[in-house]
Structure formats: C-alpha cells, structure tokens
Amino acid sequence: MRRTAVIGRPNAGKTAFTISFATYLGFQSLRFVKQTVEGEAVELELSQEAAAASLVSPTPHKTTSIQALELECAVGKGKRQFELLDTCGLVEGIHPERNIRLAMAQSLQLIKDADLVLHVIDAAAVGRNQDSFGVLEEELASWGEARGNYLLLANKMDLPAARAGLAAIQSFFSALPVIATSARTGQGFKEVKKYVLRIL
Amino acid sequence: MEELLAKVKRGELGVEEALGQLNRKDQTPTLALQQAKARLNSLVGLENVKKLVEELEAFIVIQKRRQQVALATEPLVLHMIFSGSPGTGKTTVARILGELFRQLGVLPKGHLVEVERADLVGEYIGHTAQKTREQIRRALGGILFIDEAYSLARGGEKDFGKEAIDTLVKAMEDHKDQLLLILAGYETEMEGFLSTNPGLRSRFPIQIKFPDYTIMQLEAIAEKMLSEREYKLSKDGRAALRRQLVAASLSGELACGNARLVRNLIERAIRKQAVRLMQTGSSSREELMLITAGDLGGGEGF
C-alpha cells in the first residue's frame, strides 16, 4: 500500500490534520494502528470526535509513535487505498527524552521511505514570528527538493496571523509546492486530496 | 541510514543533523560535478570561460584542503562580470556555474535568479531597497544574475538605480557565503559603468568576456541544436545556412543575436520542414530528420 507521511514540528497540527482529512474523505470511524517505538502495533478505533479529543493536544509532543490510518478514496469508478501516517513532531538538537528521540527516528525513517510526504507547518506561528525557520526546515527543504513528492501544508489558516505566515512559507520553500490548509475549517483539503491522488 | 537512525535514537545526533548528512550523501557530488563540467565543455567556443572554470575549481578544492590542515585560506570572492553581446552564452554559463559551485560546496543551492533593472528599482523613495532586498533574498544560496547591469547607473543623480547598487553592495558583504552576484551586459556599456563606479570593479574580481561567435562556431552551434532535436542538415542545407549567416553578419544582425539568432533560424526551419512534409506527404525516417536548403532559405529576415 502506498504510504503518505505527515511530518512537521510539534504542534503544527499534524494529528488534527490527519483526523480531519480522514473525516473529509468520508470516514466516520477511524481505525488507528499505533506503531510504538518498542515495535508493538496497537489498534484503536475511535470516532472522529473521540480521536480529536484524545489524540490532539495543545502541549507539544502529544504524538510519540506512528499512528497509521488506512484510507480509501473513490477515484472514477474504482477506489484507491493508501495509508496516512501521523508522526512524532521533529525538533532540532538532541531531545532529552529517549522516547521522543526514538519516535523522531521513526519519523525520519518515514521521511525517507514514504511515497509522499506532507510537511505540516503552523502558518500562524510563522506569521507571528518571521524567523521561525531553522536548520531543520532548510534540511527538510533540500531533502524534499531532492526526493520529490514533497508537499507543504501551511496549516492553521483559520487564524489571523496565518496569512503573513503563508507568504513567508511560500518564499522560504520556493522550490516546493505549498497548499494553505486549516484542519479546523477544512480549507485546502480539496487540493490536498487532488495532489495525493495524483501521486499515489 | 540505519547507523544515522541509531545515532538519533542514542541521542548523539539531532534530527536536522541526520537529515543534513542524508542530504550530503544523496547528492553523489562527483558524478553531478562531472555532468556539470561536461555540460560546460560541450558548449561551442568559450575557451576562456572553460579555462577559468578549471582554475576556479582547482582553487576551491585546494583552499578546502588547506582549510582541513588549518592553513591560512584566501576568502572565496567569486562575484563576476560577464560582458558580451546578446546570445553569446552568458546566461547559459551562469546557470552551469551555479550547479558547479553547488557541487563544489561553495553555494548551498546554486540556483540562478535572473533580474533586470525593473526588478530592482522601485517607483518611490524606499521602494527600491525593498524590491532589491526581495530579489536578493530569492537568490540567497545561489546566483543573482543582473542583466544589463549598467542601466542601474543611468538616469543621473536622482535616479533610484544608485540605491539599488548600494543595497546590492551591502548584501554582498552581509551574505558573503550565500550569494554570488553576476553583472552582465554589453562590453562597452559595462566598461563605462565600472569606470564611473570604481568601488564596484574591485568587488568583482572575476571578469569574463564573451566574444561574438564566428560563423564557423555558429554553424557548429546550429548542428548541435539540430542533433539535440534529432534533425540533421542536408548538404545544400548546410550551404544555405552558411549563406544566411554570412548575410546576417554583413547586415550586422549577427552581432546582436549570435546563438539566439541561430536558434530562431533553426526553429523556423523546423516549422517550414513540417509544412513541406505535409504537402509532399512523404514521411520516411530520413525525410523526417532532414532539413534542406528550401527549409532554411527564402525567409524574409529572421
């Protein structure tokens, strides 16, 4: 099955995006398969509301394992199946917690192996602080340019500061495609779906 | 990859450092470097450019080795001036240099941003610095290529072009390791520009002249363009091409078009060949490739 990885810094809205994108594709109940850093696979089935309530949090590094969702999409007369993998947020430097280090290594592996990478960026945070891009973004950008199939999502577009952030993201990642999204309002999901289906 | 991941897990390497190592490793620099050099060497003529690039490459490599053994190194100032008529290969060479310098590790990205006066100079006070900085930001990590650079100095004291120059000079200092500036334009105008701005000349240590192509060279360029497109010239086609080039050279058109003129000539011939083949209805493989004198001649100008 083709795999799409959702990556980004902590609190960019990766999990919220994953959940509402699945909902947008018409899934009422979400069957997550958690691949923990210890190598176990834990299944949990949640409704959209329950998933949003239990998996999304304003504290960074809520997600510390890969959370995989099997999704399918109607294409013409057939269906296209793919896996959407929510990952642990990436930060620069060496994280003191071993668990998070292991989870970030998982994310890294996926950035290399996935068929498509969706890099989620908190556009509102970027809009508030124009200098929020660091080495991590630079390396990801050149990695993305080299590998291809790398899409940036300027997320949280429902917030007022996000507009300025979007412009900053577009100019920083000038060689990569950017779509403005909002996990809350569903903005940009149509374009993301189109892009995902074109590649997978 | 496994090793990198293990290091990340053990907390010996940050994610961004691991990614950085992946980035460096995946570029397989030597191959890409050779490809860029092969592209440069396949250009017709431009012997002085090729020689200079050899020198620069050697210089960069040796400076790096000196750095490794902690010897004093010369700072790499690679800002350049390209002077020559249109169509003499300035942009093409700049693009290849960008790739080359990226592979040599001089520029992080090596892309080319082409601008002209209108992209840099604004309409009201303060606008110019803003516009120029915007272009500089786009070019960071690569090459900012300013075509007809002397137009920045036109218009006298009150012209905003001066402000653009000042902003550029400042950026050359501020982003020393991230920006390579190339000023390009006609030779005589470039000379005038530099002699009225003496401070500029010293900031651009590398000056390359792009001479007009000779008719023989232009013929070689035409053959190369055709073979890249999988066409070839018939015998009378070659004679017709030469006649056209000589005529253009006499009328002075050649000097203001050079390789670009040849390209237009070739592209028009390809269109005419298509019309001819439609009319005659023949389409053997040989016919589909051949450009004859009829395709090249009989046009009204270029």
Task: Provide the pLDDT for residue B302.
Answer: 45
Nearest to B229 by CA among B267, B285, B257: B267
Give the gap in angstroms from C-alpha B143 to the nearest C-alpha of chain A.
15
Distance from C-alpha of B182 to C-alpha of B215, rounded to nearest angstrom: 28
Which residue reads 């959702």 in tokens? A6
CB A166 within 8 A of CB A157: yes
B235-249 per-position pLDDT tens digit: 888 888 888 888 888
Mean pLDDT, residues B61-72:
82
Give the gap in angstroms from C-alpha A43 to the nearest C-alpha of chain B.
24
Give the gap in angstroms from C-alpha A107 to the nearest C-alpha of chain B.
9
**Sheet with strand B206-210: strands edge to edge:** B112-115, B143-147, B180-185, B80-84, B206-210
Measured between CB atoms, does A130 come within 8 Å of chain B?
no
Question: pLDDT at residue B145 above 90?
Answer: yes
Amino acid at B92: T
Question: pLDDT at residue B297 above 70?
Answer: yes
Q: In chain A, what residues touch B9 (CB-CB under 8 Å)? A: 98, 101-102, 105
Measured between CB atoms, does A97 come within 8 Å of chain B?
no
The chain A residue lying nearest B16, using CA atoms, is: A136
B252-263 per-position pLDDT tens digit: 777 777 888 888
Task: Provide the pLDDT for residue B29.
Answer: 57
| Residues 6 or more apart whose Cβ sits within 8 Å of residue B53 | B37, B40, B97, B100
Which residues 132-161 in chain A show a CB within 8 A of chain B? 134-136, 139-140, 142-143, 146
Q: What are the structural domains of chain A?
A: 2-199 (3.40.50.300)
Nearest to A104 among B10, B15, B27 (CB): B15
| Residue-wise DSSP of A104-132 | HHHHHHHHHH-SEEEEEEEHHHHHH-TT-
CB pairs under 8 A between A and B: 64
H/E/C letters for each residue in B119-146?
HHCCCCCCHHHHHHHHHHHHHCCCEEEE
Q: In chain B, what residues touch A105 (CB-CB under 8 Å)? A: 5-6, 8-9, 15
B4-60 per-position pLDDT tens digit: 888 888 888 888 888 888 877 654 556 778 888 888 888 888 888 899 888 988 888
The pTM assigned to this predicted structure is: 0.53
CB B212 within 8 A of CB B51: no
Give the gap in angstroms from C-alpha B184 to the nearest C-alpha of chain A.
25
Give the gap in angstroms from C-alpha A146 to the nearest C-alpha of chain B.
8
Confidence band of B271 (pLDDT split at 50, 70, 90): very high
B179 token code pair: 């920006």
Give the gap in angstroms from C-alpha B5 to the nearest C-alpha of chain A.
6
Measured between CB atoms, does B12 come within 8 Å of chain A?
yes
By three-state DSSP, how is residue B209 classified? strand
Nearest to A108 among B11, B15, B109 (CB): B15
A151 burial (CB, 10 Å; 0-12 / 13-18 / 19+) is buried
Distance from C-alpha of B261 to C-alpha of B252, rounded to nearest angstrom: 12
Bridge partners of A23, per DSSP, are none
Measured between CB atoms, does B13 come within 8 Å of chain A?
yes
- Per residue of chain A (200 residues), what is the pLDDT tens digit? 889 999 999 999 999 999 999 999 888 888 888 888 787 888 888 888 888 888 888 888 888 888 888 888 877 777 888 899 999 999 888 888 888 888 999 899 888 889 999 999 999 998 888 777 888 888 888 888 888 889 999 999 999 989 999 998 998 888 899 999 999 998 999 999 988 888 87
Q: In chain B, what residues touch A175 (CB-CB under 8 Å)? A: 111
Asked whether the beta carbons of residue B20 and residue A135 sit closer than 8 angstroms, the reply is: yes
Amino acid at B196: T
The chain B residue lying nearest A107, using CA atoms, is: B15
Q: What are the structural domains of chain B?
A: 1-42 (no CATH), 45-210 (3.40.50.300), 215-296 (1.10.8.60)
Calculate the average pLDDT of chain B: 85
Nearest to B259 by CA among B294, B211, B297: B211
Q: Which of the residues A104, A142, A174 would you substitute to probe the B interface, choosing the one with the greatest number of B C-beta atoms within 10 Å? A: A142
Q: In chain B, what residues touch A146 (CB-CB under 8 Å)? A: 23, 26-27
Give the gap in angstroms from C-alpha A178 to the nearest C-alpha of chain B.
16
What is the number of other CB atoms lying within 10 angstroms of the CB of residue B158? 7
Question: pLDDT at residue B299 above 70?
Answer: no
Nearest to A84 by CA among A12, A165, A1, A153: A1
Asked whether the beta carbons of residue A92 and residue B15 sit closer than 8 angstroms, the reply is: yes
Task: Provide the pLDDT for residue B300.
Answer: 44
Q: In chain A, what residues touch B102 (CB-CB under 8 Å)? A: none
Distance from C-alpha of A133 to C-alpha of A125, rounded to nearest angstrom: 10
Nearest to A62 by CA among A15, A7, A5: A15
Nearest to B138 among A112, A135, A174 (CB): A174
Burial B23-61 (b: 16+ CB within 10 A, else e): beeeeeeeeebeebbeebeebbbbeebeebbeebbeebe
Mean pLDDT, residues B103-114:
87
Asked whether the beta carbons of residue A98 and residue B111 sit closer than 8 angstroms, the reply is: no
The chain B residue lying nearest A140, using CA atoms, is: B19
Question: pLDDT at residue B183 above 70?
Answer: yes
**ipTM computed for the complex:** 0.80
Measured between CB atoms, does B27 come within 8 Å of chain A?
yes
